[in-house]
Amino acid sequence: MKKRLVLPGEMIGTSEEFLPGEGTFEENGKIFSKNVGTLEINEKERTVNVKTVNPPVVLKTGDIVVGTIRDVKSMMAIVDIEKAVGKNRRITGESTGAIHISKIASGYVKDVGSECRMNDIIRAKVIQTEPSLQLSMVGPEFGVLRAVCEKCRMPLEKDGNKLFCKHCERTETRKIANDYGTAEQKL
């Protein structure tokens, strides 16, 4: 049994090699992971499974969620979802979604890392739950809610459409939510 971490939408095998198991889906003869999880190949049964570290939660398309950027890839940002906003239900355990580069902002985004960075707190909308959880930050109310300076880790303040560190006198770019850093914002 081999183990490795895989991402949502990652190709993990073909249907000629394996049977798609738990946490996977098959499309045109290829097997993909549904979630962030550990890939488990069972050589004996010839199945591939993706075991999520935490059990999946029930999120619906249109739900607004708050989460933390866990990783930034060239084509997507990976988000640990902490809660669904205004639903009066906490998400039990952890759930992970992806924001594709085309769903970061309404305009053209060249670099995911110039719009969000690891550990940023963001607000996003659920746009797809199956076969993988996909989020969007397109729209003025979506985007980064809280971020810290890459150098000194102090909270960044909103300065127009950019973020500023008073301590380092540095500017950083983000796709900022319209209520970034305000007291009223609901996290």
Please report, as ranges, the residues that interact with Zn ion according to CB under 5 A: 149, 151-152, 165, 167-168
d(CA 90, CA 83): 6
β-strand 143-146 against 157-159: which pairing, if any?
unpaired
Of 133 and 165, which has the nearer Cβ to Zn ion?
165
| Shortest distance, position 136 Cβ to Zn ion, whole Å | 29
Q: In terms of DSSP H, where are the helices of the chain?
A: none
| Shortest distance, position 153 Cβ to Zn ion, whole Å | 7
Of 83 and 170, which has the nearer Cβ to Zn ion?
170
d(CA 185, CA 187): 6
Of 65 and 121, which has the nearer Cβ to Zn ion?
121
| Shortest distance, position 168 Cβ to Zn ion, whole Å | 3
Q: Which two three-digit tokens encode residue 15? A: 């249907």
β-strand 37-42 against 30-33: which pairing, if any?
unpaired
* Whether the Cβ atoms of residue 77 and residue 133 lie closer than 8 Å to each other: no
| Shortest distance, position 182 Cβ to Zn ion, whole Å | 20
| Shortest distance, position 55 Cβ to Zn ion, whole Å | 38
Q: Which two three-digit tokens encode residue 33? A: 């992971």
**For Zn ion, which residue has the nearest CB?**
149
β-strand 19-20 against 47-51: which pairing, if any?
parallel
Of 73 and 167, which has the nearer Cβ to Zn ion?
167
Of 58 and 152, which has the nearer Cβ to Zn ion?
152
